[in-house]
Amino acid sequence: MRASLACVLLPVAAQAANIILGNDDGWAEINVRTLYNSLTAAGESVVLSSPATDKSGTGSLTATPSALTSACEFNSCPAGSPAEGFNASDTRLNYVNSYPATAMEYGINTLAPTFFGGAPDFAVTGVNVGVNLGIQVPFSGTVGAAVEAMNLGIPAVVFSGYTGSQTAWNVTTPLYSQVYADLATNITSVLLASGAPYLPANVWLNVNFPAATSTTCSSASDYKFVLSRIWTAIPLISAADVETCGSTRLPLERTVVDTTSDCYVSISVGDGDKLDANATLQGVVLEKLQSILTCLP
């Protein structure tokens, strides 16, 4: 059931996708910058549109952007800067002084026409500092940004990683940041290689990476991928999931990420209410990611 990611990535090189990238940890956090570099190196056309400061835990809140009364995070722009701005040496790196969902909307409606000549093909958010599992999902601004993209008709994936803390963009890239960026790029490439529509309408993917250290799960090639669910199924009430691994009940994503016998990544299919999508929609994702998915032991 499992195949090498290197094999599945080959078809993607022929065509670049236009990707809007966001997060809730802020535009100058090292995880999102590392993912920007990784996606760009893979041949994708990427534009970052993220909050000027850390907006973790703000869910799907939106607000009109305003001029900065204090500096951007890590002093990446000075107090008094305009409500929206960009990096002078790379205009594809953009901040919005508002919530993650607002930054994503700005990226899709304002930046994408400028850089892409139209709507983006895909939206990616993260890699979030810390996992987004279960009850954390509704409150995550990184999730909120992806759901905003989905609501605007753009397929979206959220990436979150267990290891790490808020870190400035201009330090030596931590191992975990590079590993997570490589994993996120690989999964994105597999989805893009599956062909449009990359995801069914009105769904988004919630992807969580386990701990990455110098001795454990230290390379993208160490990881395995499991289709999972966000919320605990309620007996006799929750509908069956898509059938895979000999069961019609997907494992809980927290169970996947917490499995210590190997480096398992959870991939869950969410809907517009930030709940689990139905079995039919899960099935579409299962087919698209079949080449890299495996089962828990």
Q: What are the catalytic residues? A: 160
Residues 6+ apart with CB under 8 A from 235: none
Name the amino acid, one letter, at 190: V
Stated as kind and residue range, the H or E segment containing 195 is none
Residue 147, token pair as written in the block: 């759901």
- The CA–CA distances, whole Å, from 272 to 39, 57, 127, 203 equal 26, 18, 21, 7
Angstrom distance (rounded) from CA 75 to CA 161: 24
Query: 197 preceded by cis ω (within 30°)?
Result: yes
Write out the E strands in the chain: 18-22, 45-51, 84-87, 90-96, 122-129, 156-161, 203-209, 223-228, 263-271
Q: How would DSSP label each residue in 133-158?
A: -GGGGGG-HHHHHHHHHHHTT--EEE
